[in-house]
């Protein structure tokens, strides 16, 4: 059976044939690829083809697929029991490691996904401040909890509108949506409604409208504005955490958010999420404090073992410079070829993260990203797929170079990209 046949079967029993919408290829058209196995930078498909993977399961696989040490520790841990719903020594060790690598965090609570981490972070901020509303940024994705499936509303000072059916208007009314990188917009909302705002939540480097870096002073401005308004600052580092160095982006940048959420890399490919902050903040969580949070599989031993091994390998091997060099070579190559061929695009890149935006002008926010040519992105996606490269099947995502990629993979990618029709 090939991918098309599996998809036909899946569509009968899984809504849209997929367990997460973007996998349906709606953004690029065509039939989704079915993956069979992965090792290092490569995946094998049900079509009998081999692809070099630049999606990396949307971010967790900074060390590549099926890294031996991680697979070994997962197998060993699983053999000792898949879940206990009780405490394990590994959880304490993992929390110790996280709080050592992220000195601003005194305490950390483990959950099973990034969505759960953010949901808890927002509840925690509400519980601490006694305020109801939050500010988020257009184009930042924070998982699929009700309060965060919000698009910009009719005006800055009205609550947002739902970007999904089934979300109560009461939930979205409590969320203001500002353009990313627009500090003045946040200051305006805080000025008008500051005493109602529990938190401002932001991806410090945005990865869900393609890769968009914070403008100079944007994050520092958010830190100052939230502190002045008595609101908490939440850095959603589900993508950013451990991406550019063995710590959070906030720590590297010297900007101390009140609450940080983590996921993806810290689970090494297993389901995990985390919320961390100072002891004073984290002590509001049950059972110490009144903000409830729980989970049957929270702190799952297999996920913790995979995450712990991943962070240890990142700390000990520090592949970050290599990943940065490869990422830059890839983006520089794309930009050079685009220039030579007169293609209307530019590639944004930071460390191993990159997004080819199909317009020449820089992208600072969601409106800019929406102005890119999505048809041209779809043509690029399928061209690269046909040549053996898997990139995110959406123009609003970030692609990833991992430590398992080599200079040869990058050269091969660029050789294929060079053949893209102008
Ligand atoms: C910044 C950010 N926050 C939260 C999430 C949600 O994480 P999960 O998919 O593990 O629920 C994502 C997922 O891509 C994300 O990119």
Q: Looking at residue 286, which CATH number applies to its domain? A: 3.40.640.10
For a substitution probing ligand 1, which of 238, 297, 353 has the most ligand atoms within 8 Å of its CB? 238
CA of 275 to the centre of ligand 1 (A): 13
Mean pLDDT across 248-275 = 98
Atom of ligand 1 nearest to the CA of 208: 16
CA of 237 to the centre of ligand 1 (A): 9
257: pLDDT strictly greater than 80: yes
Q: Domain of 388: which CATH number?
A: 3.90.1150.10
Q: Are 272 and 263 in contact (CB under 8 A)?
A: yes
Write down the pLDDT at residue 161: 85
Q: Is residue 147 part of a domain?
A: yes
Together in a domain, 376 and 251: no
Crossing angle of helices 68-79 and 301-317, in 10° steps, is 150
Write down the pLDDT at residue 422: 77
Select from 316, 350, 383 the last residue of a domain: 316
Report which protein residue has its CA nearest ligand 1's atom 16.
239
CA of 119 to the centre of ligand 1 (A): 11
Residue 389: C-alpha distances to residues 56, 92, 107, 337, 380 (Å): 12, 40, 40, 17, 11
Residue 194's pLDDT band, with cuts at 50, 70 and 90, is: confident
Cα 225 from chain centroid (whole Å): 25
299: pLDDT strictly greater than 90: yes
Least confident span in 19-23, 102-106, 170-174, 390-394: 170-174
Write down the pLDDT at residue 160: 83
Atom of ligand 1 nearest to the CA of 140: 1
Together in a domain, 156 and 259: yes
For a substitution probing ligand 1, which of 58, 115, 240 has the most ligand atoms within 8 Å of its CB? 115
Together in a domain, 148 and 36: no
CA of 385 to the centre of ligand 1 (A): 25
Count of Cβ atoms closer than 10 Å to residue 294 Cβ: 10
Together in a domain, 296 and 360: no
Together in a domain, 183 and 110: yes
- Name the token pair of 37: 């196995």
Domains of the chain: total = 2
Select from 252, 283, 316 the last residue of a domain: 316
CA of 142 to the centre of ligand 1 (A): 5
Count of Cβ atoms closer than 10 Å to residue 222 Cβ: 27
Q: Provide the CB-side half-sphere exposure for 126 (13 A, CA).
A: 15
203: pLDDT strictly greater than 80: yes
| Terminal-to-terminal C-alpha distance of the chain | 35
Whole-prediction pTM = 0.98
Write down the pLDDT at residue 155: 79
- Name the token pair of 250: 């906030």
Residue 156's pLDDT band, with cuts at 50, 70 and 90, is: confident
Reply yes or no: is the peptide bond before residue 287 cis, omega within 30 of 0. yes
Q: Are 380 and 420 in contact (CB under 8 A)?
A: yes
Domain that holds residue 20: 3-62+319-417
Write down the pLDDT at residue 301: 98
Report which protein residue has its CA nearest ligand 1's atom 9.
114
Proportion of the chain above pLDDT 90, given as a percent: 95
Atom of ligand 1 nearest to the CA of 58: 14
150-151/161-162 β-pairing: antiparallel
- Residues serving a catalytic function are 141, 236, 264
Whole-number Å distance between alpha carbons of 80 and 172: 44
Residue 158's pLDDT band, with cuts at 50, 70 and 90, is: confident
Whole-number Å distance between alpha carbons of 117 and 307: 16
CA of 143 to the centre of ligand 1 (A): 5
Atom of ligand 1 nearest to the CA of 59: 14
> Which letter does DSSP use for residue 286 in this model?
T
Atom of ligand 1 nearest to the CA of 263: 10
Pocket of ligand 1 (CB under 6 A): 58, 113-115, 118, 141-143, 203, 207-208, 236, 238-239, 263, 273
Write down the pLDDT at residue 159: 80
Phi/psi at 270 (5° precision): -100, 160
Mean pLDDT across 259-265 = 98
Atom of ligand 1 nearest to the CA of 116: 11
CA of 114 to the centre of ligand 1 (A): 5
140: pLDDT strictly greater than 80: yes
Q: For 19-77, how does the pLDDT look when each residue is reduced to its tens digit (9 = 90+)? A: 999 999 999 999 999 999 999 999 999 999 999 999 999 999 999 999 999 999 999 99
Together in a domain, 355 and 310: no
Together in a domain, 242 and 338: no
157: pLDDT strictly greater than 90: no
Report which protein residue has its CA nearest ligand 1's atom 13.
143
Q: Are 112 and 296 in contact (CB under 8 A)?
A: no
Residue 107's pLDDT band, with cuts at 50, 70 and 90, is: very high
Write down the pLDDT at residue 181: 98
151: pLDDT strictly greater than 90: no
For a substitution probing ligand 1, which of 239, 250, 260, 271 has the most ligand atoms within 8 Å of its CB? 239
Residue 4's pLDDT band, with cuts at 50, 70 and 90, is: very high
Residue 111's pLDDT band, with cuts at 50, 70 and 90, is: very high
Q: Is residue 130 part of a domain?
A: yes
Q: Which residues have a Cβ under 8 Å from the Cβ of 372 and sit 6 or more positions away?
A: 210, 357, 358, 359, 363, 395
Closest among 264, 288, 269 to 277, alpha carbons compared: 288
Q: Are 115 and 279 in contact (CB under 8 A)?
A: no
For a substitution probing ligand 1, which of 116, 141, 300 has the most ligand atoms within 8 Å of its CB? 141
Mean pLDDT across 155-162 = 81
Select from 247, 281, 316 the last residue of a domain: 316
- Name the token pair of 263: 């996921």
Q: Is residue 422 part of a domain?
A: no
Average pLDDT of the chain to the nearest whole number: 97
154: pLDDT strictly greater than 80: no
């Amino acid at each position: 059976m090939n991918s098309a046949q599996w998809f036909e079967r899946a569509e009968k029993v899984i809504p849209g044939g997929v367990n997460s919408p973007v996998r349906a290829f709606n953004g690029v058209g065509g039939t989704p690829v079915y993956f069979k196995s992965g090792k290092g930078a490569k995946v094998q498909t049900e079509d009998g083809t081999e692809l070099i993977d630049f999606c990396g399961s949307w971010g967790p696989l900074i060390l590549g697929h099926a890294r031996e040490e991680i697979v070994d520790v997962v197998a060993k841990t699983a053999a000792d029991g898949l879940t206990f719903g009780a405490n394990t020594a590994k959880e304490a060790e993992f929390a110790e490691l996280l709080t050592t690598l992220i000195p601003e965090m005194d305490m950390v609570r483990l959950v099973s996904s990034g969505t759960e981490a953010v949901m808890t972070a927002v509840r925690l901020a509400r519980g601490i401040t006694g305020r109801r509303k939050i500010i988020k940024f257009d184009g930042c994705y924070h998982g699929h909890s009700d309060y965060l499936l919000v698009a910009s509303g009719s005006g800055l000072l009205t609550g947002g509108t739902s970007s999904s059916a089934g979300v109560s208007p009461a939930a979205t009314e409590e969320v203001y949506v500002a353009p990313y990188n627009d500090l003045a917009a946040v200051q305006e909302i805080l000025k008008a409604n500051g005493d109602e705002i529990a938190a401002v939540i932001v991806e410090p480097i945005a990865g869900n409208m393609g890769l968009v870096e914070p403008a100079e002073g944007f994050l520092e401005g958010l830190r100052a504005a939230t502190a002045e308004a008595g609101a908490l600052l939440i850095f959603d580092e589900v993508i950013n955490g451990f991406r550019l160095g063995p710590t959070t982006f906030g720590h590297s940048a010297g900007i101390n958010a009140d609450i940080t959420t983590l996921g993806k890399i810290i689970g090494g490919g297993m389901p995990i999420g985390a919320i961390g902050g100072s002891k004073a903040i984290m002590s509001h969580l049950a059972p110490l404090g009144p903000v409830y949070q729980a989970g049957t599989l929270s702190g799952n031993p297999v996920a913790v073992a995979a995450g712990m091994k991943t962070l240890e390998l990142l700390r000990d091997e520090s592949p970050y410079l290599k990943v940065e060099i490869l990422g830059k070579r890839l983006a520089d190559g794309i930009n050079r070829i685009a220039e030579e061929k007169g293609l209307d695009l530019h590639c944004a890149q930071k460390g191993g993260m990159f997004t080819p935006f199909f317009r020449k002008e820089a992208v600072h926010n969601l409106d800019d990203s929406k102005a890119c040519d999505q048809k041209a992105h779809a043509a690029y996606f399928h061209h690269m797929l046909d040549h053996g490269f898997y990139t995110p099947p959406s123009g609003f995502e970030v692609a990833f170079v991992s430590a398992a990629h080599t200079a040869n993979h990058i050269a091969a990618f660029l050789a294929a990209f060079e053949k893209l029709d102008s």
